[in-house]
């Protein structure tokens, strides 16, 4: 377990270090070594208004932070250099594909926007009408998208596989919001391994579900007994087979405290 502190809105890996994004005014990014989880340094992101997710790119040696209030993506290099670009919609989830481009999931307009590492808009996909309030999208090697969707006020909470053109749902898991196996209560964040098995954070059911590449239910890899609070973000270390889960305490509808739990998978 990484130390408790301010609520955590992102966790990712870069160059054998763990980057943790905390909700605070300064020194928002904490960097830990991947062996002993000792704090190495803190990094400040200037001009950031709000943040909901973080991912990384080994190719360009940087991390990306989604700013849902300013509607920006912030780019932070390993040497501390910073830049940003406008999304022009509210981002919610962020990931990097095999081409080293940035996929930004825009929750209110049902879009996934693809940017270069320096913010050039390459394309945008409008998701099918029944994919309401998309939370996070990850692109598979053949170009399909794995997308989770559903707010607490929505009836349908699912994980979907969507064709490369963004038009059709090819496969899905979930449906009506609920606590049973095969149901979700806000599937907020995803991770995909090198065999395209899918890990799903199920916030209010307090678990992480493992799905097959065809989105069939496999098992729960993290249960409510393993968690102290509510899981919000995931990061998978494919080489070490470790799963990092950001776990946050909620009081009066506000997240107050967070830590990162590390599981072997």
The count of structural domains within the chain is 1
Give the 3-state secondary structure of residue 84.
Answer: strand
Q: Is 262 contained in some domain?
A: no
pLDDT at 249: 96
Q: Is 180 contained in some domain?
A: yes
**What tens digit of pLDDT does each residue of 188-219 get?**
999 999 999 999 999 999 999 999 999 999 99
**What tens digit of pLDDT does each residue of 68-121 get?**
999 999 999 887 789 999 999 999 999 999 999 999 999 999 999 999 999 999
Q: Which domain holds residue 139?
A: 130-226
Q: Is 36 contained in some domain?
A: no
**Percent of the chain at pLDDT above 90?**
90
- Taking residues 130-150, report their average pLDDT: 97
Q: How high does pLDDT run on average in the chain?
A: 95
Provide the pLDDT confidence category of residue 10 given band limits of 50, 70 and 90: very high
Q: Could you give the dihedral angle defined by the CA atoms of residues 212, 213, 216 and 222, in that order, rounded to the nearest 10 degrees?
A: 40
**Percent of the chain at pLDDT above 70?**
100
Do 42 and 65 meet the contact criterion of CB atoms below 8 Å apart? Answer: no
Do 19 and 233 meet the contact criterion of CB atoms below 8 Å apart? Answer: no
CATH of the domain at 210: 2.40.10
- DSSP code for 3: P
Q: Is 58 contained in some domain?
A: no
Give the 3-state secondary structure of residue 226.
Answer: helix
pLDDT at 49: 85
């Amino acid at each position: 377990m990484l130390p408790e502190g301010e609520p955590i809105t992102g966790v990712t890996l870069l160059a054998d270090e763990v980057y943790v994004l905390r909700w605070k005014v300064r020194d928002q990014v904490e960097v830990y070594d991947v062996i002993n989880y000792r704090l190495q340094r803190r990094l400040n992101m200037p001009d950031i208004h709000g943040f909901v997710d973080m991912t990384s790119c080994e190719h360009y040696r940087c991390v990306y932070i989604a700013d849902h209030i300013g509607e920006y993506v912030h780019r932070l290099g390993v040497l501390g250099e910073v830049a940003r670009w406008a999304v022009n919609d509210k981002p919610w989830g962020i990931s990097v594909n095999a081409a080293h481009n940035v996929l930004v999931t825009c929750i209110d307009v049902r879009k996934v926007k693809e940017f270069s590492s320096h913010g050039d808009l390459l394309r945008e996909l409008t998701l099918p009408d029944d994919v309401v309030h998309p939370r996070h999208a990850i692109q598979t090697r053949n170009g399909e998208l794995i997308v989770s969707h559903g707010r607490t006020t929505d009836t349908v909470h699912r994980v979907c596989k969507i064709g490369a053109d963004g038009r059709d749902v090819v496969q899905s898991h979930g449906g009506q919001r609920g606590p049973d196996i095969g149901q979700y209560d806000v599937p907020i964040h995803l991770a995909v391994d090198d065999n395209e098995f899918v890990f799903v954070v199920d916030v209010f059911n307090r678990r992480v579900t493992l799905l097959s590449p065809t989105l069939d239910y496999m098992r729960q890899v993290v249960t409510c007994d393993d968690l102290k609070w509510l899981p919000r973000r995931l990061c998978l270390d494919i080489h070490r087979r470790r799963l990092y889960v950001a776990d946050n305490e909620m009081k009066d509808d506000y997240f107050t405290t967070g830590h990162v739990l590390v599981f072997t998978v």
